[in-house]
Chains A and B, each alone.
Chain A
Amino acid sequence: MITFDAVTKRYPDGTVAVDGLSLEAPTGEITVFVGPSGCGKTTSLRMINRMIDATEGQILLDGVPVQGIDPPTLRRGIGYVIQQAGLFPHRRIVDNVATVPYLLGWDRRKARARAMELLERVGLDSALARRYPFQLSGGQQQRVGVARALAADPPVLLMDEPFSAVDPVVRTSLQDELLRLQAELNKTIVFVTHDIDEAIKLGDRVAVLRVGGRLAQLADPKTLLSDPADDFVREFLGRDRGIRRLQFVSTAGLRLRTDLTVEEGFGGGTAEPWALVVSADGAPVGWVADARPDVLEPFGTFVHGRDSMRSALDAALLSPSGCAVGVDENGKVVGVATREALDEALAEAADG
């Protein structure tokens, strides 16, 4: 656990970057520092590994003040990922990843074996190991940066806007990859970003900081969206808070109807205005209106119990039937969420 205890950073010219920050980043969770530029989020992050020293207050790592630890020793025990990856241009990828093990005096072969293992873990082809950083794309470099931070298996990982320099598609895949890795590794991660959507997607807890380095709100993403502490946080969260909050509402409680499915070759004649055609192996084929049983209309699906209410709502809006198709992990239809069922679930979400 990382504890900020009334931490202030004041520069000699009088500028206050961080002002009396107190919070905890619990072990095994992702804590995101988010805020506009000048809110002291990067400064706060860098005070953890003493790249910047606090002026007042202290930062504790599992109860031990970082001030008392020699900086190089402290840093070798904390993984660090930065925006442009910060790879060493003169070293091959494998040696870049093995940097901290080398610093810790590991045997060269063991360090490289560990590096190869990590490259695989972050989804990189082992053929890239012999290359130099300039031969990799931005997204690949960033994966190498993550692998390098994990090389010596540090319990704590600091990430400073690691995905903001890559294009949106790559960013999304890197974010998913981080969540997947975190599910396996359970590191204590402090993640800095200026992107509130990234904060909400990745954070177990989100600390919103305002300009001048003051904590505006510390909460889990769902609470943040439903109950912003003040106008600053509300404005920073931006539009569509209600819709975005639905991504934290599970579809497990969503009532499904199983009497609306028909087999292929259906000729019409149910009492309902719409029926879902399902293939022999259980996959959805399309909606048919009772009036025009020969025309297949588009459908949208969500994985029942795994996807959020936001996905279910999205699936419903994709179809003229206004219903969302619930499927299992294998894509087989388990039932249909009608407008009425969605309405019930939304009413419940709005309450809680």
Chain B
Amino acid sequence: MGDGPPSIWEWIARNWDTGRVDSIRNLLTDHLTMSLVPILLSLVVALPLGLACVRWRWLYQPTSGLMNIVYAIPSLPIFMLLISVTGLSQTTVIIPLTFYGMAVLIPAVVDGLGSVPDHVRQSAVAMGFTPLRRLLAVELPIAVPVVLAGLRVVAVSSISLVSVGALIGQGGLGSLFTRAYQNPFMPPVIVGIVLIVALALVADGLLVLAQRLLTPWVRARKGRA
């Protein structure tokens, strides 16, 4: 161990848990918070909005149009706009990511409910389901595969997009990249990329697992084909 630059493992060991805000461990926790909250929040908001768009068809065009515009606005100006309200906080990152998630999930909920075959809906009506029970016991469960497919996209993109927050000092693992920009030293960049990709893969894997557990009937269908 001379005076040369430390190896990547040495760098990780030295920076893992320094007790400072920018220890890898703290960055990882921040990153998780700032990606998981928008994922959950966008799902919670997109469900009722999606349902409303199905119930009142005329709502869907304006809603999806608006969501696409939100999706098109680059995150940086949104951050700048929000800083005046929420400051340089995690909330400033969480809010736009939630909107991005909604832009994907509202159509997913609408398409998911649209994937319920008409004869299935008709037979539920004919057997005496009340509208609420039909929604909860028949339509939503059948919409699950389509919604989960949307949720997978949202999970991976949110985890990756959090790093942009580094520009306002709230990027989680993304701040490892800005640090390298100031000082050309590669280990933080590699650690940042590896951890973000690993997080995305774990999240995606969990969702695939959830899909298998929640919708065994989809696997059964593929098994026959």
Interface string of A80-92 (1 = CB under 8 A from B): 1011111111110
Docked Cα-Cα span, A140 to B41, in Å, equals 43
Task: Assess whether A31 is interfacial by the CB under 8 Å rule.
Answer: no
Task: Assess whether B136 is interfacial by the CB under 8 Å rule.
Answer: no
Chain B neighbourhood of A86, CB < 8 A: 117, 119-120, 122-124, 126
Task: Assess whether A267 is interfacial by the CB under 8 Å rule.
Answer: no
5 closest A-B pairs by CB: A86-B123, A76-B128, A75-B128, A80-B126, A134-B221
- Option from A89, A99, A131, A133 in Cβ contact (under 8 Å) with B127: A99
| Contact of A90 with B122 at beta-carbon distance under 8 Å, contacts A100-B127, A103-B129, A135-B224 already known | no
Q: Which residue of B lies closest to A84 (CB)?
A: B119
| Besides the known contacts A78-B126, A134-B217, 8 further A-B residue pairs in the complex with CB atoms under 8 A apart | A49-B126, A76-B127, A80-B123, A80-B126, A86-B119, A86-B123, A132-B221, A134-B221
Interface of A is mostly: mixed
Interface of B is mostly: helix
Chain B neighbourhood of A113, CB < 8 A: none
Interface residues of B (CB under 8 A from A): 117, 119-120, 122-130, 133, 138, 141-142, 144, 215-217, 220-221, 223-224
Contact status B217-A103, CB under 8 Å: no
Q: Which residue of B lies closest to A133 (CB)?
A: B217
- The minimal Cβ–Cβ distance linking B195 to chain A, given in whole angstroms, is 37
- Option from B126, B130, B138 in Cβ contact (under 8 Å) with A88: B138
Docked Cα-Cα span, A87 to B123, in Å, equals 8
Contact status B120-A89, CB under 8 Å: yes
Interface size in chain A (residues, C-beta < 8 A): 31
Docked Cα-Cα span, A148 to B123, in Å, equals 11
Task: Assess whether A317 is interfacial by the CB under 8 Å rule.
Answer: no
Interface residues of A (CB under 8 A from B): 49, 51, 71-76, 78, 80, 82-91, 99-100, 103, 131-135, 145, 148, 158
- Option from B128, B221, B224 in Cβ contact (under 8 Å) with A103: B128
| Contact of A132 with B217 at beta-carbon distance under 8 Å, contacts A51-B122, A84-B119 already known | yes
Docked Cα-Cα span, A75 to B133, in Å, equals 14
Docked Cα-Cα span, A148 to B127, in Å, equals 9
Contact status A132-B119, CB under 8 Å: no
- Option from B119, B123, B126, B224 in Cβ contact (under 8 Å) with A134: B224
Docked Cα-Cα span, A89 to B222, in Å, equals 13
Chain A neighbourhood of B144, CB < 8 A: 90
- Option from A72, A80, A89, A99 in Cβ contact (under 8 Å) with B130: A72
Docked Cα-Cα span, A331 to B160, in Å, equals 78
| Contact of A82 with B128 at beta-carbon distance under 8 Å, contacts A87-B120, A88-B138, A90-B141 already known | no
Q: Which residue of A lies closest to B214 (CB)?
A: A90
Docked Cα-Cα span, A74 to B127, in Å, equals 9
Docked Cα-Cα span, A163 to B126, in Å, equals 18
- The minimal Cβ–Cβ distance linking A338 to chain B, given in whole angstroms, is 53
Docked Cα-Cα span, A145 to B125, in Å, equals 14
Docked Cα-Cα span, A145 to B120, in Å, equals 11
| Contact of A82 with B220 at beta-carbon distance under 8 Å, contacts A87-B120, A88-B120, A88-B138 already known | no
Docked Cα-Cα span, A87 to B90, in Å, equals 47
- The minimal Cβ–Cβ distance linking A123 to chain B, given in whole angstroms, is 21
Docked Cα-Cα span, A49 to B127, in Å, equals 9
Docked Cα-Cα span, A343 to B217, in Å, equals 60
Contact status B119-A72, CB under 8 Å: no
- The minimal Cβ–Cβ distance linking A44 to chain B, given in whole angstroms, is 15
- Option from B120, B126, B141, B142 in Cβ contact (under 8 Å) with A75: B126
